Structure 1
Amino acid sequence: MKRSNKLLSKIVLLSTILMVWGMGCNVVDIDDRPDPNNSELQNILDNPSRSDISTLVSGTEAGLRTELRIYHINVGMIGREMYRFLSAEPRNTGDLLGKGNAQLDAGSFYITRTWASFYRVIRNANITIQAATTLNDNGIYSDEELNGTLGYARTMKAYQYLMALTQTNENGIRQQLEEDIFNTGDLLSTANSYQLIADLLDEAATNLTNAGSTFPFNLSSGFDGLNTPETFRQFNRALRARVEVYRSQPDWNAVLTNYLPESFIDETADLEFGAYHVFSTATNDLLNPVFADPQAGSGDSWVAHNSWVEDAEAGDLRIDQKVQLRDEPASLDGLTSDYGLFVYQSQTAPMPILRNAELLLIRAEALAQRNNIGDLDAAEDDLNVIRNAAGLADFNRGTGGQAEVIDEMLNQRRYELFFEGHRWVDMRRYDRLDELPIDRPEDNVWSSFPIPENENL
């Protein structure tokens, strides 16, 4: 993410302001609200410039990455994809795995810091919306420019709401009012949380349709190929497909006829194509937060759950691509792994937000759920695109039916999307959390994180 020093300085300043608004002086005190007397904020709201919008957009995208380390440890460990063995942090192998009498703590960093990060980005997006609306009212922004900015900001808001809801699940999320950054809305039920996210994405899609051919700001290289209103709308529709399959009663026909056809899904294209978090060694930028030496010692090591390798189909190329056999096993707190994580193989390796492979797997899932013979055949075709890319022969259900196709779809999601934040969610939405491996007899598999204690108002 390369930017000029002047722009980076402004982003850092704005991010500092947002951090204070979001957390106060205490990292877990996330109930603090923005100060309405803050002159810098008030100037952006009352007298914004085009450069302010560019800075806000860059700050939003940068903010998406803030707590990715904690988020991926959370969902990766509970989903039994991986372990973070960090001797200085016993809550990783204690609370997250339900060791003995351990419970998830509503005041602990693993939920307060991720929640605060998501809501800082949401507030930043709301500031962007208010500032862009003011520019349009003042005749500085055209209607197309306003729509492009609204479409971008609302899509990013929806994505962050979804990240929060992925963790809290049946506990829901809190709405952040778009028209009032100084106050929050209601704590929503799970169903209403998904509806909020779906509505935001649909509203953003309409904005993007009316946004002309270019944005009035630039996106990072993580959105290469998806950085115009038209192509960013494809990313929006891809997210909408993900949201729909996550709901308790998905509209499979809408996934297949509305959302996926308007996304960037392409069975002939690179499975890696999509939107990414990007990192660099530039001053004030971030390095990939989950990159680690796969041979690192047990005092601080990132390892794959042995079952991921042991359960793999012979010849699956993704095993060597995503893990590395360790010279010595890593162990901590009664847990052991023989394989170091190597999904992200450098300090600047990008991390997917959503990519083509996931869209093909979503289409296979939706086709399987419709459960017509032709649909099951088409689902197999999509699964075989994924399998063949991994060096595997075609899947053929033979005399089997829907259940076999769904099992294969979940299996391909397990291997193709490994350590991208999906396994725990997939097993939860198919009511299969009891199938995840338990390595210590008293461990537990959680279905949800609690709402942070400072949000239990």
Structure 2
Amino acid sequence: MHKRTLALLVGLGIAGTACKDSTSVPDLNNISAETALANGLTPTVLQLLATGLVNASRSELDGRYLVFTETMARDFYRLDNAENRYITELIGTAPADYSAFTGGGAFTNMYVTVRSGNTILNNLASATFLSPAEVSATKGFVQTMKALSYYRVLETRDTLGIAFDVNHPVNDPPAQFECKPNVLAEISALLDSANTNLVAAGAAAFPFALPSGFSGFNTPATFAKFNRGLKGKVEVYRALPQGNRTKATGTAGFNAAIAAINASFASPSAPMNLGPKYTYSTASGDQTNPLADANIFLNPFVGDSIQAGDKRAAKIFPVTPKTLSNVTGRYKGTMTDPSGALTQPIPILSNAELLLLRAQAEIGLGQFAAATADINAVRTADGGLTPYLDFVDAASAIKAVLYEKRYSLLGQSAQRLVDLREYGLLNASAGPGRSNGDIFQSVLPIPKSQFDTRNVTTITPACP
């Protein structure tokens, strides 16, 4: 069975025990959840569901989540003569259309992953072949992947809120949208619950195999380090006040972020690209890297602003300029060049990102010497640049950490959009937009389908 088919099946809450090529099984394109799980959660079905969960998570990093958010963050331009809305609706003079592929994008895929995870959790009681430790390991893995998906959809909607309590039958009323601070708190709690389960698994192995991109993070004990890294990331953004109004966790949140990152795989002496990754291939039925797209250019500011001698300039190269919808692309990146990017992995969370997140927490606490050390660890290893002297003020330190994040994490996630938004820096200083006006859109709208499902014209997130 092709991985794409499996991801779709799992996203609908269904899966099978063998591939369609076998003449002894039904057509898996039409199999029901009841048929797949008729005999409970067997070892074969659990493996298929776990593989499908990871594949669904990988599918979140499509041409919408990555390209839309990196365009809004002034890193990318997708200049497609056949589709100018990548520019006009993302860095235009009006918000993205909530009924279009732009405004409605980077949303459904994340909930497909959450539903995939819930399918596993809801059927664990039938997995009589699992030991208590293996049950804990499975819960911890699934809960962590769900938390990652919730966080990604929140990255794109921010203060508009998202639906979190979605583990209900499909015929139940739609889940209520909740405000950003509450959702961040729920994601944080979900990660803690996941970590408790991973620790409870002890020395047990996962009762399923993970893809090669999880090498080094494919046991409950090592995967817990990824969990703690993700927890640290969430805590940094819980602590920052922008968009969290009176619910920012502040000092306590920054301390929680540092504690979590210290329990992760973050290390200034480890390779900066250490961490789990999504892998891609050109094999039949598999997925190629979604950024391998000849229409993707870099925002000129990315190429013009890199510091002299920065080794990361090797990822950026000049091209014949192309202009569309009042923007001009003059650079491209190796991460989008189809000649080499088709099978290039995309990090889920890297050592470099964790060190820079810890620096952000340290800046929030006024611990400038510690922040400088973490920034310099990335700056010298990834960039080959002269280390900074200790910072003495937050503004300079934030500027430095955002520079390192831009060039070390380019094209990997929505992190730059989130940072610019959280620090109130999503403006002309971030990079050029359209020459005829730019509203510096910071979020994608709630998709029209969510209003239609609820039969409402407005959605106000609950924020008790």
Normalised by the shorter chain, which TM-score bucket? 0.7 to 0.9
- Give the whole-Å Cα distance in 2 for the aligned partners of 1:329 and 1:152: 45
Determine if contact 2:13/2:116 at 8 Å carries over to the other structure.
no
Tell me the CA shift for residue 114 of structure 1.
2.5
- Give the whole-Å Cα distance in 2 for the aligned partners of 1:364 and 1:243: 14
AA aligned to 1:56 is L
Change (3 A) 1:142 1:178: farther
1:28 corresponds to: none
1:74 corresponds to: 68
Q: Does 1:199 align with 2:165?
A: no
2:233 corresponds to: 242
Q: Single out whichever of 38-47 and 421-430 deviates more from structure 2.
A: 38-47
Q: Does 1:96 align with 2:120?
A: no
Determine if contact 1:48/1:134 at 8 Å carries over to the other structure.
yes
AA aligned to 2:153 is A
Tell me the CA shift for residue 19 of structure 1.
5.6
Tell me the CA shift for residue 128 of structure 1.
0.8
TM-score of the pair, normalised by structure 2 = 0.85
Tell me the CA shift for residue 439 of structure 1.
3.6
Q: Does 1:414 align with 2:406?
A: yes
Tell me the CA shift for residue 341 of structure 1.
2.1
- 1:417-452 superposed Cα distances (whole Å, 9 cap, x missing partner): 122222111100001112323341312211211111
Map residues 294-305 of structure 1 onto 2, 5 A cutoff. Answer: 301-305=295-299
- 1:334-375 superposed Cα distances (whole Å, 9 cap, x missing partner): 21121112125321000111100001101111112111xxx3
Change (3 A) 1:361 1:12: closer
Tell me the CA shift for residue 105 of structure 1.
1.4
1:441 corresponds to: 436
Map residues 208-287 of structure 1 onto 2, 5 A cutoff. Answer: 208-213=198-203, 214-247=205-238, 248=244, 249-250=248-249, 251-257=253-259, 259-287=260-288
Q: Does 1:169 align with 2:163?
A: no
Change (3 A) 1:329 1:196: same
2:80 corresponds to: 86
- 1:211-270 superposed Cα distances (whole Å, 9 cap, x missing partner): 13310001101111011000101101111111111224241111122x012111011000
1:188 corresponds to: 178
Aligned residues: 415
- Give the whole-Å Cα distance in 2 for the aligned partners of 1:393 and 1:171: 41
1:4 corresponds to: none
Determine if contact 1:126/1:179 at 8 Å carries over to the other structure.
no
Specify which of 130, 144, 148 is matched with residue 141 of structure 1: 130
- 1:164-210 superposed Cα distances (whole Å, 9 cap, x missing partner): 00001111111243364664532111111112211111111111111
Long gaps (5+) in structure 1: 1-7, 23-37, 294-300
AA aligned to 1:431 is G
1:401 corresponds to: 393
- Give the whole-Å Cα distance in 1 for the aligned partners of 2:394 and 2:11: 48
Tell me the CA shift for residue 18 of structure 1.
4.5
2:347 corresponds to: 352
Change (3 A) 1:432 1:265: same
Q: Does 1:392 align with 2:377?
A: no
1:383 corresponds to: 375
- 1:305-358 superposed Cα distances (whole Å, 9 cap, x missing partner): 1111222211111112x21111x1122122112111212532100011110000
Structure 1 SS opposite 2:230: helix
Change (3 A) 1:335 1:39: closer
AA aligned to 1:187 is F
Determine if contact 2:4/2:286 at 8 Å carries over to the other structure.
no
- Give the whole-Å Cα distance in 1 for the aligned partners of 2:228 and 2:171: 30
- 1:110-152 superposed Cα distances (whole Å, 9 cap, x missing partner): 34342111111110100011122321xxx32111111111111
- Give the whole-Å Cα distance in 1 for the aligned partners of 2:122 and 2:90: 39
- Give the whole-Å Cα distance in 2 for the aligned partners of 1:255 and 1:334: 41
1:317 corresponds to: 311
2:291 corresponds to: 290
AA aligned to 1:90 is N
Change (3 A) 1:109 1:225: same
Change (3 A) 1:52 1:20: closer
- Give the whole-Å Cα distance in 2 for the aligned partners of 1:233 and 1:149: 12
Over the residues paired in the alignment, what is the CA RMSD in angstroms?
Answer: 2.0
Structure 1 SS opposite 2:156: helix
- Give the whole-Å Cα distance in 2 for the aligned partners of 1:171 and 1:411: 28
AA aligned to 1:391 is G
Change (3 A) 1:382 1:146: same
TM-score of the pair, normalised by structure 1 = 0.86
